[in-house]
Every structure is written in structure tokens, then in C-alpha cells.
Amino acid sequence: MRVSPGGRRRVRQALVILFHQRASAIGTSITLVFVMAALFGPLLAPYGLNQQFASATFQPPSPAHWFGTDELGRDVFSRVLLGARDILAFAGLGTLLAVILGATVGLFSGYTGGLVDEIIMRAFDGLLSLPAMLLALLLLASLATSDLSVIIVLVVVYTPIVARVVRSVVLSVKDLAYVRAAQLQGEGLGWILYRAILPATYPALAVEGALRFSYAIFLIASLGFLGIGFQPPSANWGMMVSDARQLATAAPWALYFPAAAIAVVVVGVNLLADGLKRIAQTLPESQR
């Protein structure tokens, strides 16, 4: 695909806008820090995930163990750092698949219209009428517990939401002259959907994707807390919170730090989504 001439300039513009507002600058920075942790965690972590210091259980935060140690003498900082990769990777992958699938369904359904659109959208309405958590629990109960199941849950839960957002954009552009012009020049369905209409949905997709990503992190952490979805020895922050809960009086830091990690990254990604929304709104109509 050709990079459009204004593409690089627009990316720079977008970054300027993101960092211009304090809230979105903070959100972007937080997200970047967590992404770095996910990418380079194993290099940065002072200790291993399950490395135990038998002599140093229930240690409060200290220069040796920044976030303290838990009941098994594991370094909480290392565990939080190493936990970033799992949770971000799963949330990211699940969101990405949901965005791809949702965009495809939304494009097709909105463009085709009529009865097909009605059927798809009513089915999605049905899915959306269940709370995300309930839907996730129902699915996990019927699937084998594996990493794949968690991804499937995210895709099932978020695809309808993304599809609805994309469809609403499609409805607003599908009667525009450029779509008609594409029909007149004999373009096929794929070209019309992905080359002509899809770019118009990018701003909405970026915002929705970021938002879904933050909710995906939240959902995975919640499932971990309930002890569903992930199996030890992986370090799911939710699971860490759950484990530390029973010993909260003895080692509150083992509870606080993973909980804070969840809260901070969710808030950070949300702020980033807000920033993206602002960029989408400042783009002139013709560039959307």
C-alpha cells in the first residue's frame, strides 16, 4: 500500500495534539511505560517470576525489593513487571482480533443493509444485552481453560461493540459520491469496503480500539481475580490481588501494587483514548 504523502505529517500532528493536552500526555506516557514493561520486562526485572527468597517473606518495600515480597518470598516488583507482558499481550491480541472482525462485520453489514444488516445487528444486540462479565463466565464455563479461551472471550465480547461503531460510520458515508463512484468504476465489494470506506472509520476505530483495550485489561484482571482463565504460574495482576487478599494485613503491599498497576494502566489507556478522540474531532472533515 502506498503511504499517502501527507501521512507522516499527520502522524506528527497527531502526536503534537496528544502531548499538547496534559491529560492525554499523561495517558500516552503511562501506556508507553506499560508497553515498554511488557516488551522488556524480562530484561528489566531484578528477579525471576517465581524466584523465592525463603528468608525474606512478607518484606515491606525496601531498596532490595521495591514493592516488597509476598508470602512465598517472591519479589512483588518483578512479578508486577513480568505480569505486564501477559496481560497486555492477551488484551492487545484479543482487542486487535475483535477490531479486525468487528470492522469487517460492521463494514459488510452497514454497506449491504436491508435484511442481512437487520439480522446481524439484532443478533449482536442480543449479545450486547448480556453484561460482559456474565458473557465471559458463560463462555469460559463451556470452553476448555486455556489461553485461547481468553482470547475467544475478548473477541466475542468486543466484536459486536466494534461492529456497531464501524457500522454507524459506514451508514454515514455509504451514500457519499466516492462510494458511488467506486461502484460506477466497477470495483468489487472488497475494494469498496476496505479501500474506499474503511479509511473513513479509522478515527472511530482508533478511539474504540483504545477504549476496548483498556476494558480488555480490566476484564482479564477481573477473570484472574476470580481465578478463571489463567493458570498459575503466570502472573496475572488480578490473580496476584486475589492471592494477596487473604494476607492483606500481613503484606498489604503485595495487594496494593498489582491493584495499582491495573488501575493505572486502565486509566492511562482511557486517557489516551480521550486524546485520540480529540484528534479525530480536530481533523478537518475531508481528512476523516
Partner 1 sequence: MTPGPSHIPLLEVESLTVAYAGAGRLLDAVREVSLIIHEGETYGLVGESGSGKTTLALSVMRYLPRSAVIRQGRILLGGSDLLALDAKAMRTIWGQQIAFVPQDPYSSLNPSMRIGEQLSEAIRADGIDRRAARERALDLLADVHLPDPPLIAESYPHQISGGMRQRVLIAMAVSREPKLLVMDEPTTGLDTTTQATILDLIRDLIRKRRTSVLYVSHNLGVVAQVCDRVAVLYAGELLEDAPAVRLYARPLHPYTQGLLDSVPRLGQNKRRISLRAVAGRPPSPGDTRSGCVFMARCPLAIELCKEAPALIQADKGHDTRCHRWKEIESGSADPRQPARAKAGRVQSPVTGPEVLALLDVEVHYPIRRSLADMVSRRARQVRAVNGVSLSIRRGLALGLVGESGSGKTTLATAIMGLVERTGGEMRLLGKLLPSRIARRDAATLARMQMIFQDVDESFVPTMSIAEIVRRPLIRLGGSRADEASPKVIGLLEAVHLPPEYADRLPVQLSGGERQRVAIARALASKPDLLVADEPVSSLDVSVQASVLNLLNDIQAERDSGLIFISHDLAVIGYISDVVAVIYLGRLMQVAPADEVFDPPYHPYTEALLSAIPLIDPKGLQERIRLEGDTPSPVEIPSGCPFHTRCPRFLGEVCVTVDPPEQRTASGGLIRCHIPLDALQEAQRRVFHFSFPVEGSD
Considering beta carbons, is residue 249 or 286 the nearer one to partner 1? 286
Give the contact letters, 137-176, x = binds to partner 1 (CB under 8 A), - = no: ---------------------------------------x
Among 196, 205, 235, 261, binds partner 1 (CB under 8 A): 196
Q: Per CB under 8 A, does 180 bind partner 1? A: yes
- For CA atoms 51, 52, 55, 57, give the dihedral sign: positive
Task: Give the residue with the Cβ less far from partner 1, 179 or 241.
Answer: 179
Burial environment of residue 184 by CB neighbours within 10 A (0 to 12, 13 to 18, 19 or more): exposed
Q: Which residue has the cell 492477551?
A: 90
Of positions 200, 255, 272, 279, contacts partner 1 by CB under 8 A: 200
Considering beta carbons, is residue 40 or 178 the nearer one to partner 1? 178
Question: Of 36-44, 95-103, 132-140, 179-187, which segment contacts partner 1 by CB under 8 A?
Answer: 179-187
Listed as own residue / partner, the contacts of 214-218 with beta carbons closer than 8 Å and 24 or more positions apart are: 214/265, 214/266, 214/269, 214/270, 214/273, 215/132, 215/158, 215/266, 216/90, 216/91, 216/92, 216/94, 216/95, 216/154, 216/158, 217/87, 217/88, 217/91, 217/262, 217/265, 217/266, 217/269, 218/262, 218/266
CB of 5 to partner 1, least distance (A): 6
Q: Of the two residues 170 and 266, which places its CB atom closer to partner 1 in the complex?
A: 170
Residue 186 in the binding site for partner 1 (CB under 8 A): yes
Which residues, other chains included, contact 255 with Cβ-Cβ below 8 Å and sequence gap of 6+?
A: 241, 244, 245, 248
Shortest reach from residue 186's CB to partner 1, in Å: 5
How far is it, in rounded angstroms, from Cα 184 to Cα 8? 31
Contact call for residues 186 and 255 (beta carbons, < 8 A): no
Residue 5 or 233: which CB sits closer to partner 1?
Answer: 5
Residue 288 within binding range of partner 1, rule CB under 8 A: yes
Q: How far is the CB of 79 from partner 1 (least distance, A)?
A: 44
* Interacting residues toward partner 1 by CB under 8 A: 2, 4-6, 114-115, 118, 176-178, 180-187, 195-196, 199-200, 284, 286-288
